[in-house]
Structure 1
Amino acid sequence: MEFGKVDPADLDKIDFKLPPDHADTIAILAKAKKVNTQIYIGCAKWGRKDWVGKLYPPKTKEADFLVHYAKHFNCIELNATFYRMPTPVQIKIWKSKVGKDFKFCPKFVDQITHLRRLKNVKEITDQFLEAIYEFGENLGPIFLMPHPQMGPKALDTLQAFIESLPEEVELFTEFRHPEWFSNQQAFDQVYDVLKKQKSGAIITDASGRRDCVHMRLSTPEAFIRFVGNGLHPTDYTRINDWVQRMKQWKDQGIQRIWFFMHQHEELHSPELCRYLIPEINKHCGTNIKGINFIDDQNLFN
């Protein structure tokens, strides 16, 4: 993931402190129905050959990567559906490789978001939804990333697309155009659309785009994309801050948290998850299954 990448020499100059929660976040959580908070932790992909011998047993075949991935994580940010339109047959195969509690969070295919930029996409959107509905109880929220050039001027297009989706679709949208965050009125407007549709805005924590850490929830759920920097020391202090914020949200009544680990080079995402999960369990009173490497060394130290 290249989004928000900076020169490693500049990392110690960045203020990584999480901003305070937006007033809307506080209000949303105050009104939320009190339930036991569910926390999902995952990566962006399972098809990493360099995880064989570390996360997956030696000589694991690619066809079995997902089986072993699902033994460690309870969800996946499914970027594969961005690059190729999924088919019902493919979805059924993926579903067959995981347990009943595992969640797939598929990303809208690029034909919808980037090639057509959300215009004249009803037929292809229906095709996409028909496929991912095959996940059944394994379907988590769908991830919408409009083309990064789609800023506030595209609000009407974005609103029309979101409002066209079936009511049962759980949606989170990632905003990348800088004007969404520099233009307060624009973000207020799109936030109102999301709130009305009971969908959320993704919080992306990347080094070079601190504006995307907006801390504004429109539902009693959070979808976080954390982008680390190759196990730099700041990766761990940032995770510590996120654990404390998740604890705060849990105490305030958040219902679900989706936390997806990224690196600019995804090789080391499991190491950060291996650090993150015990910290969440310790501070949030959860019992999320930890990550076990084949070589039982403390590789994140």
Structure 2
Amino acid sequence: MEFGKLELHQAAATDFSLPAEPVFNTTTLQQNLHPQPLKVHVGCVGWGTKDWVGEVYPEGTKESKFWEAYARQFNLMELNATFYQIYPAETLTKWKERAAANPDFLFCPKFPKQISHAQTLYGTQDLTKVFYENIRAFGEKSGPLFLQLSDYFGPERFAELEKYLQQLPKDMPVFVELRHERWFSDQQAKEKVFALFRSLNIGAVITDVAGRRDVAHMHLTVPSAFIRFVGSHELPELTYKRADVWIERIKNWQQQGLQSVYLFVHLQQNLLEPKMVDYFIERLNQELGLKVRRPKFIAKPLELF
């Protein structure tokens, strides 16, 4: 992920503290009239690399089998593949079947870039209809849909965004990632767009990335959190410290009535990514009294010298 990416010396000097809790969230979380145990899903972007074989996936796992191996280890995937094309329902049904071994597994499909970037929502009703029709093939394994707006889609396009979101089907949760800087620097624009999301029961993606601290805005427009935890070329110890800060924030939200968390770990270091997923789950289980299943890493035999 290039968005907000910094080099090591820049990331090390970044203030990774999270913004103060917005008063806005109190109203959102208090709308949860039927408190229930917090549901937590944590995963990666994609299904891994060859570096995971022997560490995360069994020795000898072929690349064609990475998908099944991923679904056995993790319970969430940010599905970037749907960003690049609209897949037929038959293909998505096959992907669902390959994840059948894990009853808790969820896909979070990204809206196609033809909708979000190439046409910037304009004239995309037919494309959106096809996308939704096909995505329904995931059935019970469909998590929230992820609409990522381009860096150039700013507050001057508010009316277009409102019109597009209003016509989306209401039976599948959607989270929107805002990237244009003025959504956050213009207080009126920020208040207006988050109020729109809440009125339509649409979530706001929170992205924690070194080079754009404004997108870690902390606003919950629905009683669920969709968090993208993104690392640059930073030291692992810094990444763990950042994770600990998030554990405390999620714990605070849980106490106020948060219903669910969708947490995506996206790091430059391939083997650190699954380990950070495990760390998040371990700490969330400890601090929030949960029992989310952790991935199981492959033990290495002792080497004798």
TM-score, normalised relative to structure 2: 0.93
Superposition map of 1:71-110 within 5 A: 71-98=72-99, 99-110=102-113
* Secondary structure of residue in 2 paired with 1:43: strand
**1:45 CA drift (Å):** 0.4
Whether the aligned pair in 2 keeps the contact of 1:141 and 1:169 (CA below 8 Å) is yes
Whether the aligned pair in 1 keeps the contact of 2:16 and 2:210 (CA below 8 Å) is yes
* Secondary structure of residue in 1 paired with 2:72: coil
Superposition map of 1:189-268 within 5 A: 189-230=192-233, 231-268=235-272
* Secondary structure of residue in 2 paired with 1:39: strand
Whether the aligned pair in 1 keeps the contact of 2:42 and 2:76 (CA below 8 Å) is yes
CA distance in 2, matches of 1:213, 1:277: 21
**1:167 CA drift (Å):** 1.3
Whether the aligned pair in 2 keeps the contact of 1:28 and 1:220 (CA below 8 Å) is yes
**1:83 CA drift (Å):** 1.2
2:35 aligned with 1:28: no
Q: Which amino acid aligns with 2:39?
A: Q
Q: Which amino acid aligns with 1:38?
A: K
* Secondary structure of residue in 1 paired with 2:4: coil
CA distance in 2, matches of 1:225, 1:266: 16
Compared CA separation, residues 265 and 179, structure 1 to 2 (3 A): farther
CA distance in 2, matches of 1:233, 1:245: 19
Whether the aligned pair in 2 keeps the contact of 1:5 and 1:264 (CA below 8 Å) is no
**1:163 CA drift (Å):** 0.7
Aligned equivalent of 1:295 = 299
* Secondary structure of residue in 2 paired with 1:246: helix
Aligned equivalent of 2:136 = 133
Aligned equivalent of 2:283 = 279
Whether the aligned pair in 1 keeps the contact of 2:117 and 2:149 (CA below 8 Å) is yes
Q: Which range is displaced more, 224-233 or 280-289?
A: 224-233
CA distance in 2, matches of 1:54, 1:290: 14
Whether the aligned pair in 2 keeps the contact of 1:100 and 1:137 (CA below 8 Å) is no
Q: Deviations over 1:211-255 (max 9, x none)?
A: 011111111001000002355321010100101111111111100
CA distance in 2, matches of 1:72, 1:272: 13
Superposition map of 1:110-149 within 5 A: 110-149=113-152
Aligned equivalent of 2:10 = 10
Compared CA separation, residues 269 and 85, structure 1 to 2 (3 A): same
Q: Which amino acid aligns with 1:232?
A: P
Aligned equivalent of 2:51 = 50
**1:50 CA drift (Å):** 2.3
CA distance in 2, matches of 1:296, 1:47: 19
Aligned equivalent of 2:180 = 177
Aligned residues: 297
Point out where structure 2 has 5 or more consecutive residues left out of the alignment: none
Q: Which amino acid aligns with 2:50?
A: K
Q: Which range is displaced more, 61-70 or 131-140?
A: 61-70
Q: Which range is displaced more, 109-118 or 47-56?
A: 47-56
Q: Which amino acid aligns with 1:178?
A: E
Q: Which amino acid aligns with 1:5?
A: K
Q: Which amino acid aligns with 1:279?
A: R
Q: Which amino acid aligns with 1:249?
A: W
CA distance in 1, matches of 2:238, 2:50: 27
* Secondary structure of residue in 2 paired with 1:234: helix
Aligned equivalent of 1:158 = 161
2:67 aligned with 1:63: no
Residue of 191, 195, 212 corresponding to 1:188: 191
Q: Deviations over 1:105-133 (max 9, x none)?
A: 10001111111110101111111111110
**1:47 CA drift (Å):** 4.5
Q: Deviations over 1:62-99 (max 9, x none)?
A: 22211111111111111111012111011001100123
